[in-house]
């Protein structure tokens, strides 16, 4: 989860030249694309509501507070149950490591 929230910034210059240039109606520069990536990360991660952050940490620790996200029935979705089951099968040290990695996404 932490890896998805704080991704490594990949150098996309070559992919941009090979597969992106000329694909848009209006020209977009590499710098604009990289800036948009940073804006998206800020909106999704840094501006995430505190309740959602607390939910994710609770989910990772095995004690999710479903009321924090206000999505009735989400606990019963197959993908959510699958993720919970995988986390429940983690060795205790591994799960602690995952929780600390997630907490590090939002340093206090």
Report the pLDDT value the prediction gives residue 77, as an integer from 0 to 100: 97
Q: Among 58, 57, 56, 60, which Cα is nearest to 90's?
A: 60
Query: Are both 39 and 63 inside the same structural domain?
Result: no
Range of the domain at 77: 50-103
Residue 108 inside a domain? The answer is no
Count of domains for the chain: 2
Report the pLDDT value the prediction gives residue 80, as an integer from 0 to 100: 96
Query: Are both 25 and 63 inside the same structural domain?
Result: no
And the tokens for 25? Answer: 């109606």
Average pLDDT, the chain: 93
pTM listed for this prediction: 0.80
Query: Are both 55 and 94 inside the same structural domain?
Result: yes
Report the pLDDT value the prediction gives residue 92, as an integer from 0 to 100: 80
The counts of H helices and E strands in the chain are 6, 0
User: Side-chain half-sphere of 29: how many Cα atoms within 13 Å?
Assistant: 3
Query: Are both 64 and 88 inside the same structural domain?
Result: yes
Residue 25 inside a domain? The answer is yes
Residue 62 inside a domain? The answer is yes
Query: Are both 42 and 61 inside the same structural domain?
Result: no
Query: Are both 74 and 36 inside the same structural domain?
Result: no
Q: How many CB atoms lie within 10 A of CB 56?
A: 22
Residue pLDDT, tens place only, 25-64: 999 999 999 999 999 999 999 999 999 999 999 999 999 9
């Amino acid at each position: 989860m932490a890896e998805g929230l704080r991704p490594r910034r990949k150098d996309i210059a070559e992919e941009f030249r090979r597969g992106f240039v000329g694909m848009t109606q209006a020209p977009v520069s590499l710098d604009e694309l990289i800036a948009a990536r940073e804006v998206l990360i800020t909106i999704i991660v840094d501006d995430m509501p505190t309740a959602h952050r607390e939910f994710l940490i609770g989910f990772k620790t095995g004690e999710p507070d479903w009321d924090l996200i206000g999505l009735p029935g989400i606990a019963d979705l197959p993908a959510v149950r699958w993720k919970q089951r995988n986390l429940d099968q983690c060795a205790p040290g591994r799960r602690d490591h995952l929780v600390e990695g997630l907490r590090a996404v939002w340093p206090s």
